[in-house]
Protein backbone atom coordinates (compact mmCIF):
# COMPACT_ATOMS: atom_id res chain seq x y z
CA UNK A 1 0.00 0.00 0.00
CA UNK A 2 1.64 3.22 -1.22
CA UNK A 3 0.44 6.53 0.20
CA UNK A 4 2.30 8.83 -2.19
CA UNK A 5 3.28 9.22 -5.82
CA UNK A 6 6.35 11.16 -6.92
CA UNK A 7 6.86 12.83 -10.30
CA UNK A 8 10.52 12.10 -11.03
CA UNK A 9 10.30 13.56 -14.53
CA UNK A 10 9.52 16.98 -13.09
CA UNK A 11 12.88 17.18 -11.33
CA UNK A 12 14.62 16.15 -14.56
CA UNK A 13 12.73 18.49 -16.93
CA UNK A 14 12.40 21.54 -14.64
CA UNK A 15 14.55 23.49 -12.24
CA UNK A 16 12.22 23.75 -9.23
CA UNK A 17 12.42 27.21 -7.66
CA UNK A 18 9.58 27.11 -5.15
CA UNK A 19 7.27 24.46 -3.66
CA UNK A 20 3.78 24.76 -2.22
CA UNK A 21 1.02 22.46 -1.01
CA UNK A 22 -2.55 22.33 -2.29
CA UNK A 23 -5.63 20.26 -1.58
CA UNK A 24 -7.52 18.53 -4.36
CA UNK A 25 -11.22 17.92 -4.99
CA UNK A 26 -11.86 14.18 -5.46
CA UNK A 27 -14.71 11.70 -5.42
CA UNK A 28 -14.77 9.03 -2.70
CA UNK A 29 -13.70 6.13 -4.90
CA UNK A 30 -10.76 8.20 -6.22
CA UNK A 31 -9.46 8.57 -2.66
CA UNK A 32 -9.64 4.79 -2.22
CA UNK A 33 -7.69 4.31 -5.45
CA UNK A 34 -5.01 6.76 -4.29
CA UNK A 35 -4.72 4.94 -0.97
CA UNK A 36 -4.19 1.74 -2.97
CA UNK A 37 -1.46 3.47 -5.02
CA UNK A 38 -3.34 3.47 -8.32
CA UNK A 39 -2.32 6.89 -9.66
CA UNK A 40 0.13 8.34 -12.16
CA UNK A 41 1.25 11.99 -12.21
CA UNK A 42 4.15 11.78 -14.66
CA UNK A 43 2.12 13.44 -17.48
CA UNK A 44 0.18 15.83 -15.22
CA UNK A 45 0.32 19.62 -15.40
CA UNK A 46 -1.39 22.54 -13.65
CA UNK A 47 -3.20 25.48 -15.25
CA UNK A 48 -4.76 28.57 -13.72
CA UNK A 49 -7.90 29.53 -15.62
CA UNK A 50 -10.31 32.27 -14.49
CA UNK A 51 -8.89 32.36 -10.98
CA UNK A 52 -9.07 28.60 -10.40
CA UNK A 53 -6.15 26.18 -10.35
CA UNK A 54 -6.83 22.85 -12.04
CA UNK A 55 -4.72 19.76 -12.58
CA UNK A 56 -4.91 18.01 -15.94
CA UNK A 57 -3.84 14.50 -17.04
CA UNK A 58 -3.48 13.11 -13.51
CA UNK A 59 -4.52 9.50 -13.98
CA UNK A 60 -6.39 7.83 -11.12
CA UNK A 61 -7.37 4.30 -12.06
CA UNK A 62 -10.81 2.93 -11.25
CA UNK A 63 -11.33 1.42 -7.81
CA UNK A 64 -11.86 -2.26 -8.53
CA UNK A 65 -14.52 -2.91 -5.86
CA UNK A 66 -16.96 -0.33 -7.25
CA UNK A 67 -18.72 -0.84 -10.55
CA UNK A 68 -21.59 1.65 -10.48
CA UNK A 69 -19.92 5.07 -10.10
CA UNK A 70 -17.09 5.30 -12.64
CA UNK A 71 -15.36 8.56 -13.54
CA UNK A 72 -12.94 9.27 -16.35
CA UNK A 73 -9.42 8.44 -15.07
CA UNK A 74 -7.74 11.56 -16.51
CA UNK A 75 -10.47 14.11 -15.87
CA UNK A 76 -9.64 17.68 -14.82
CA UNK A 77 -9.63 18.15 -11.05
CA UNK A 78 -9.79 21.39 -9.09
CA UNK A 79 -6.98 22.34 -6.71
CA UNK A 80 -7.73 24.06 -3.43
CA UNK A 81 -5.59 27.18 -3.03
CA UNK A 82 -6.22 30.56 -1.44
CA UNK A 83 -7.00 33.47 -3.76
CA UNK A 84 -3.85 35.25 -2.63
CA UNK A 85 -1.73 32.20 -3.52
CA UNK A 86 -3.40 31.91 -6.93
CA UNK A 87 -2.85 35.59 -7.73
CA UNK A 88 0.81 35.36 -6.64
CA UNK A 89 1.34 32.28 -8.80
CA UNK A 90 -0.43 33.85 -11.77
CA UNK A 91 1.87 36.86 -11.59
CA UNK A 92 5.01 34.71 -11.44
CA UNK A 93 3.88 32.48 -14.30
CA UNK A 94 3.08 35.39 -16.60
CA UNK A 95 6.05 37.58 -15.65
CA UNK A 96 8.93 35.11 -15.58
CA UNK A 97 7.68 32.34 -17.86
CA UNK A 98 7.59 29.73 -15.13
CA UNK A 99 5.46 26.57 -15.02
CA UNK A 100 3.43 24.89 -12.28
CA UNK A 101 4.20 21.17 -12.07
CA UNK A 102 2.80 18.56 -9.63
CA UNK A 103 5.75 17.01 -7.79
CA UNK A 104 4.08 14.67 -5.34
CA UNK A 105 0.63 13.42 -4.29
CA UNK A 106 0.38 12.21 -0.70
CA UNK A 107 -2.09 11.62 2.12
CA UNK A 108 -1.94 13.51 5.41
CA UNK A 109 -4.46 12.30 7.97
CA UNK A 110 -7.59 11.87 5.81
CA UNK A 111 -6.73 14.55 3.22
CA UNK A 112 -5.11 14.07 -0.18
CA UNK A 113 -2.55 16.80 -0.89
CA UNK A 114 -0.58 17.76 -3.98
CA UNK A 115 2.87 19.30 -3.72
CA UNK A 116 3.29 21.78 -6.57
CA UNK A 117 6.57 23.10 -7.86
CA UNK A 118 7.11 26.42 -9.58
CA UNK A 119 9.72 25.46 -12.14
CA UNK A 120 11.71 26.82 -15.02
CA UNK A 121 12.20 24.47 -17.98
CA UNK A 122 15.68 23.07 -18.44
CA UNK A 123 17.50 23.13 -21.75
CA UNK A 124 19.10 19.94 -23.11
CA UNK A 125 22.56 21.01 -21.94
CA UNK A 126 21.26 21.60 -18.42
CA UNK A 127 19.76 18.10 -18.41
CA UNK A 128 23.13 16.66 -19.43
CA UNK A 129 24.81 18.60 -16.62
CA UNK A 130 22.37 17.24 -14.06
CA UNK A 131 23.01 13.68 -15.30
CA UNK A 132 26.79 14.20 -15.03
CA UNK A 133 26.42 15.64 -11.52
CA UNK A 134 24.25 12.71 -10.43
CA UNK A 135 26.75 10.19 -11.81
CA UNK A 136 29.68 11.96 -10.10
CA UNK A 137 27.83 12.01 -6.77
CA UNK A 138 27.06 8.30 -7.14
CA UNK A 139 30.72 7.52 -7.93
CA UNK A 140 31.95 9.60 -4.98
CA UNK A 141 29.54 7.76 -2.70
CA UNK A 142 30.92 4.42 -3.89
CA UNK A 143 34.51 5.56 -3.32
CA UNK A 144 33.79 6.74 0.22
CA UNK A 145 31.91 3.54 0.98
CA UNK A 146 34.88 1.32 0.14
CA UNK A 147 37.49 3.37 2.03
In a domain, 128, yes or no: no
Q: What is the dihedral of CA 27, 33, 34, 40, to 10 degrees?
A: -100
The answer to whether position 142 is within a domain reads no
Is 124 within 8 Å of 131 (Cβ atoms)?
no
Q: What is the pTM of this model?
A: 0.80
Domains of the chain: total: 1
CB 34 within 8 A of CB 41: no
When the pLDDT of each residue in the chain is averaged and rounded to a whole number, the result is 87
Q: Select from 28, 7, 51 the least CA-distant residue to 112.
A: 28
Q: What is the pLDDT of residue 115?
A: 95
The segment with the largest mean pLDDT, out of 31-35, 67-71, 110-114, 139-143, is 110-114
Give domain status of residue 98, yes or no. yes
Q: Is 126 inside a domain boundary?
A: no
**Residue 28: which CATH number?**
2.40.280.10
pLDDT in tens, 82-111: 999 999 998 888 878 788 999 999 999 889
Where in the sequence is the domain holding 33, given as residue range(s)?
Answer: 4-121
In a domain, 87, yes or no: yes
Amino acid sequence: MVNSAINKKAYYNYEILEKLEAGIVLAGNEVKSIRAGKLNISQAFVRIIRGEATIHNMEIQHYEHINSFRLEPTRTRKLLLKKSEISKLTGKIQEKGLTLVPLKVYITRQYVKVQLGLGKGKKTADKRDSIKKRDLDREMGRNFKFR
